[in-house]
Amino acid sequence: MSRDTTLSQATVGTEGIWRKAVLVLLGTLFIAVAAKISVPMLPVPMSLQTLAILIVGFAYGSRLGAVTLIAYLAEGAMGLPVFTPTTAPGLLAFAGPTAGFLVGFVFMAYLAGLAAERGLARGVVSTALVGIALSALLYLPGVAWPMAVAGAFGVEAGWVGLSTPAIWANFVAPFLLGDVVKAVLAALVVTGAWAALKPRG
C-alpha cells in the first residue's frame, strides 16, 4: 500500500458520506476517551487528549481530521462530556482559560493530516518532529486567548490579561515535557500501524 495515502484510506477507505460519518464519530469518541485519561507526570498530570488529536490527524488526513475536531468541539458545546475533566462544560468551555487551545485543536489535526498527505510524516523521527512542531504551534492560540483575545471579547476573569511570566508558568512550561512524550507516542502508533499494513515477504 502506498505511503502517499492516509491510514484511513489504506485500511477502511474514506469514500462515501456514511463511511466518513462513521470515521468522524469514531474519531470524536477516541478523543473524548483520551481526554478523560490522566497519566501521572511531572510537573503536572498529562491528559492524552492531544495525543489522540495527533493520531486522528495523521490517520485521517487534513480535511477529515479537521471535520472530526469540529464535530468534537460541537459535541462539547452541546454539553456532552467529551472534554477533559478540568474544562468547563458546554459553551462555557469556549469562554474559559483553555478556549484558545480548543480552537487550535482543529488546526492541529488539519496540519497533522496535511503533513501525512504531503509525505512529511513518514518515519518515526519525522512524524515525531511534526508532532512536536504542531504541539508548539498550538500554544499560539492557546496563550493568545488569555493574554489578550479574551479581554477583547469582554471576558472578565482572573486569568485574563496575565503577564508573560504568568502565562509561561501556568499555560506553557508545565506541559512541554508531556507534549514531547505525546508527539513521540503518536509517531510510534502511526508508523507502527503503517508497518503492520506492509505485506509480509
Q: What's 196's DSSP letter?
A: H
Domain chopping of the chain, boundaries = 7-197
Contacts of 84-93 spanning 24+ positions with Cβ under 8 A: 84/35, 84/36, 84/47, 84/49, 85/36, 85/38
73, amino acid identity: L
Asked if 100 and 143 count as a contact pair (C-beta separation under 8 A), the reply is yes
Specify the pLDDT at position 11.
Answer: 87
Average pLDDT estimate for 49-53: 98
Specify the pLDDT at position 200.
Answer: 60
CATH of domain 7-197: 1.10.1760.20
The answer on pLDDT for 67 being more than 90 is yes
Length in residues, the chain: 201
Q: The whole model's pTM is what?
A: 0.93
Average pLDDT estimate for 77-104: 95
